[in-house]
Amino acid sequence: AFLVESTCTSFSETNPYPLSILNNIKMAAMMSASKVAFAKGVSFKAERASKVAAPRAVCASKASAFGGKQLKMQARQLRSVAKFSVQATSTSKPAIEAEEMQTEAPTTLLRSDGTPSDSMRAQFEKMIRAAQDEICASIKELDGGEFREDAWTRPGGGGGISRVLQGGKVFEKAGINVSVVYGKMPPEAYRAATGGTDAKKSDAYIPFFAAGISSVMHPHNPMAPTVHFNYRYFETEAPEDDPSAPRAWWFGGGTDLTPSYIFEEDIKHFHQTQKDACDKTDEAFYPKFKQTCDDYFMIKHRGERRGVGGIFFDDMNDRAPEELLKLATNCAAAVVPGYAPLVKKHKDDAFTPEQKAWQQMRRGRYVEFNLVYDRGTTFGLKTGGRIESILMSLPLTARWEYDQKQEEGSEEAKAMEAFRNPPDWLNM
């Protein structure tokens, strides 16, 4: 039942972004459970529907007596979704292989298959590995604590490196992950992703490659903001039985700031740093990416954003990959100069127990967004990724308080106004 409902949602839910390859893989992964589990779900769904909507469930042909064409259409949609789901589960294969822990990080996470050093795969891995080293060094200098490093590989190639500083002097939790993933997606997801007309339909699973860096840093002090960033590259290969089929690739990523309290000069500094990084590639990028970021980090059930935004882009393949690699590189390089000065400025600020409680409330909002809406988190949870790395983004502590209200004119109310109605920070 969950599989059917999830698939319906993925097709019908209003989304400000195009149906990306990532979403299709996520959808396919959700449907890659065993046939038995799916059959039980559909059986339960049918049984529940028959009890709740008795006469309607007897036969779609009788739907006219209870609402006509609309009910018939809903019945056809449900059958189509069920058919698609059964087809997608006809070959039960894991999307990603299980990881094998390593005592130290390997020189490369790429397969030892002669991947050229000038390939986009190799260039992107080199970039994210260097960014991880540089950002970890900066955070270590700021905090004084040590990062724990976990490295893993997968039998068929790929792996990851997680570095986490927990319970530090400045940071409650700071983590920077890099990963390289080789996997296979069902043909239905591939056709939806590439928009193929399928003159030659293939039943073969399509190999894909993904690499990325992802980070979240939560300081102790409520006056110091949280930051999140991730940059990623994705590509598919042609199925083995149809080498002429189209291949797909794209870049995505972004950096965003989540303060508990609003210091306008800090937020302007952060946004200006992101704009400067984008402008090196195209001056049209920052305003577009800022709006996309404000839209993406909306906590829909709350009617508020997670923070004060930044930049966010996805599904980008509209220009040369070398140009987009430059964009991702410049944006990743902007993390430290855009964020570290803000933490250094506020890490020793005085604060009250009430201000700490407000920070914990905002951390609760952070958790809500990540577990309900974040594409990367939900994708990892549905495809069998390494759970500790996936949930690294969550804070150590958070708070949910029943019917919490902000006092009019307070700093907390000022923050909520910014979360609900994000301004143009660079033109205030």
Active site residues: 228
Beta-strand ranges (E) seen in 99-225 are 100-102, 148-153, 158-166, 171-185, 206-219
Beta-strand ranges (E) seen in 100-203 are 100-102, 148-153, 158-166, 171-185
Tell me, rounded to whole angstroms, the distance of Cα 328 from its chain centroid: 16
Give the separation between CA 324 and CA 253, rounded to whole angstroms.
11
Pair 229, 258: CB distance under 8 Å: no
Phi, psi of 171 (to 5 degrees): -105, 130
Number of residues that make up the chain = 428
Residue 312, C-beta contacts closer than 8 angstroms, at least 6 positions apart: 253, 254, 256, 289, 292, 293, 296, 297
Give the separation between CA 327 and CA 278, rounded to whole angstroms.
7
Phi, psi of 251 (to 5 degrees): -115, 155
Neighbouring C-beta atoms of residue 167, cutoff 10 Å: 10
Give the separation between CA 226 and CA 362, rounded to whole angstroms.
10
